[in-house]
Amino acid sequence: MNKLKKTVLAALILSGLFTSGVYAETSMEPQVFIDGYQINHTLIHDGRAYVQLRELSHYIGYELEYDDYDSTISCYKSNEEKPVIRRESSLYPTNIEELEFGERREIIKVYELTTGDNPREISKEPFEKDGYSYKLTDITKSNSDSIDRAEHSETVTVETNTNDTNSIIQHFRETIEYASPDGYAGILKLDIASIKTEAAGHSSSSYTISETREYPNLSSPDTSLVPKTISVNGKTLKLAGVNWKSENNTAIDYTPLADAYTAVASYTGTGTKTSVTGYVTTAEYKGEINKTIQGNTIYTAYFSGTKTEQEPEAEPTVEELEQQLKDAKAKAKEVAKANGEGLSLNPLFIIISLLILGIVGGLAWLMFFRGNVAVYNLIDTKMQKIGKAKITPKDLTIDLSHLEAKAMTSSFTLLIGMRAAKKLDGETVAIVYKGESLQHTIVMAEDGDGSKKDYQINAVF
């Protein structure tokens, strides 16, 4: 029984004991008695007396049970079975799977809930199907989230003062973390081949251009004989000044006179040049990014089923056959004594003797040959019976070697007969298959109705 997590107050109108006027005038707790027993934790509110439902149900012989799953409270008489609360369910399973384990069956119902669906509306009620009675044993919850994956490229830009590749690559990390506004994320890796460098900008500056030229064999030092402009590398320079040099000096009346002149002309002009002010480098980071897409909530309900139809009469136990043998021997002696005849000639004695032999044979078969363990193997997602094995209190080994040819997998379910299991209660048995051995301790437990069923062992090698 789940513990009641919240104190539940039941309102009881105590007719004839109190009046609304009395309630309004007193601040004392009312005294409530059930069959002479005083109930504690009472209060008065709006003309009514309130007591705790759990304490009240205890005094009047009722059980109180709280279901944490759907927040319901059941109150029923202590000497009666808890009533089944049946509710209409608006949710339907998206998948139903049926499994067989010998005499037991299991039905698994899968519910896919979307936003707004209430899991409390999943049916938990017991039901019957094909001669089996099913009841809920467990409910699990999971999410059907999916992951969307995509390739992504992200461009990263850095500024440098050089275009040297080896220097530039130092500015980039090998990987970067990426996260998009719409929920995608991942690790991107640098693509070295994608690195590109360009000039970030240019600046212009002016400078002075100077050029000196000589013009020889001039008749006189006359600047008109000197070009006023010249062109150098596409730039026009202007005459800035002229220096004269005389040539072939001749002395006339002891005075040197030049008969030719050389003009040394200086030209100047202004030039401009453009220089790079910096570099911009871009690189691409590439990789896979992913995003978790929230799906529906999956609830899986497990229902365990047991046979509701009458089971066939059980085979006699060894003890029962031994008793039958004693009774038959006693009957034979009585017949022989009553007739006073030789035992070998009395027909009734012959019949009884044959009966004794049959009982002895059955006893021997029960003790030495009959398998009392039904063996099931997982075949095509279902447990299917493939044969029997034997176990006794003297030989606590279940050998499955003789079933190797029939087994399709190494997953087994073993059902030990109820009577055999009772004798083995508390014993540790060994299950042997293909040279491997598993240990299991048998612990018999009663079902909810007080009965005991075949004992089940699940073995996976």
Residue boundaries of the structural domains of the chain: 9-77, 95-145+299-306, 316-368, 373-460
Burial class for 13, CB neighbours closer than 10 Å (0-12, 13-18, 19+): exposed
Is pLDDT above 60 for 143? yes
| Percent of the chain topping pLDDT 90 | 28
Burial class for 285, CB neighbours closer than 10 Å (0-12, 13-18, 19+): buried
CB contact set of 46 (below 8 Å; sequence gap of 6+):
23
Q: Which residue has the higher pLDDT, 70 or 386?
A: 386
| Percent of the chain topping pLDDT 70 | 75
- Give the C-alpha separation, 101 to 452, whole Å: 17
Kindly report which listed range (41-55, 182-196, 302-316) carries the lowest average pLDDT score. Answer: 302-316
Please enumerate, as own/partner, the contacts of 320-325 that have beta carbons within 8 Å and a separation of 24 or more: 321/359, 321/362, 321/363, 321/366, 322/363, 324/359, 325/356, 325/359, 325/360, 325/363
- Give the C-alpha separation, 18 to 49, whole Å: 9
**pLDDT tens, position by position, 224-238:** 889 999 998 888 999
* Sign for the pseudo-dihedral over CA of 306, 307, 308, 313: negative
Query: What's the DSSP call for residue 410?
Result: S
Chain centre to alpha carbon of residue 69: 21
* Sign for the pseudo-dihedral over CA of 10, 14, 18, 20: positive
Provide the 10 A C-beta neighbour count for residue 415. Answer: 22
- Give the C-alpha separation, 64 to 82, whole Å: 10
Is pLDDT above 50 for 293? yes
| Confidence at residue 68, expressed as pLDDT on a 0 to 100 scale | 67
Is pLDDT above 80 for 452? no
CB contact set of 243 (below 8 Å; sequence gap of 6+):
263, 264, 266
| Banded pLDDT at 446 (limits 50, 70, 90) | low
* Spatial contact of 282 and 252, defined as CB atoms under 8 Å apart: no
**pLDDT tens, position by position, 412-439:** 999 998 888 888 888 999 999 988 888 9
- Mean pLDDT, residues 39-51: 78
Q: How far is CA 319 from CA 295, 354, 371, 388, in A?
A: 61, 20, 17, 22
Q: Which residue has the higher pLDDT, 297 or 349?
A: 297
Q: How far is CA 124 from CA 71, 89, 302, in A?
A: 14, 9, 9
- Mean pLDDT, residues 74-81: 76
| Banded pLDDT at 15 (limits 50, 70, 90) | very low
List strands edge to edge, sheet with 436-441.
397-399, 428-433, 436-441
Nearest of 292, 294, 311 to residue 132 by alpha carbon: 311
| Confidence at residue 87, expressed as pLDDT on a 0 to 100 scale | 55
* Spatial contact of 389 and 371, defined as CB atoms under 8 Å apart: yes
Is pLDDT above 90 for 146? no
Q: State phi, psi for 144 to the nearest 5 degrees.
A: -100, 45
| Confidence at residue 358, expressed as pLDDT on a 0 to 100 scale | 61
* Spatial contact of 103 and 306, defined as CB atoms under 8 Å apart: yes
CB contact set of 319 (below 8 Å; sequence gap of 6+):
none
**pLDDT tens, position by position, 238-266:** 999 999 887 766 666 666 666 788 989 99
* Spatial contact of 279 and 247, defined as CB atoms under 8 Å apart: no
Kindly report which listed range (57-61, 289-293, 395-399) carries the lowest average pLDDT score. Answer: 57-61
- Give the C-alpha separation, 124 to 74, whole Å: 15
- Give the C-alpha separation, 40 to 280, whole Å: 84
- Give the C-alpha separation, 191 to 153, whole Å: 10
| Banded pLDDT at 23 (limits 50, 70, 90) | very low
Nearest of 446, 455, 413, 158 to residue 283 by alpha carbon: 158
Kindly report which listed range (179-188, 348-357, 370-379) carries the lowest average pLDDT score. Answer: 348-357
**pLDDT tens, position by position, 322-356:** 677 677 767 767 766 666 544 444 555 566 666 66
Instruction: Enter the pTM of the model.
Output: 0.35
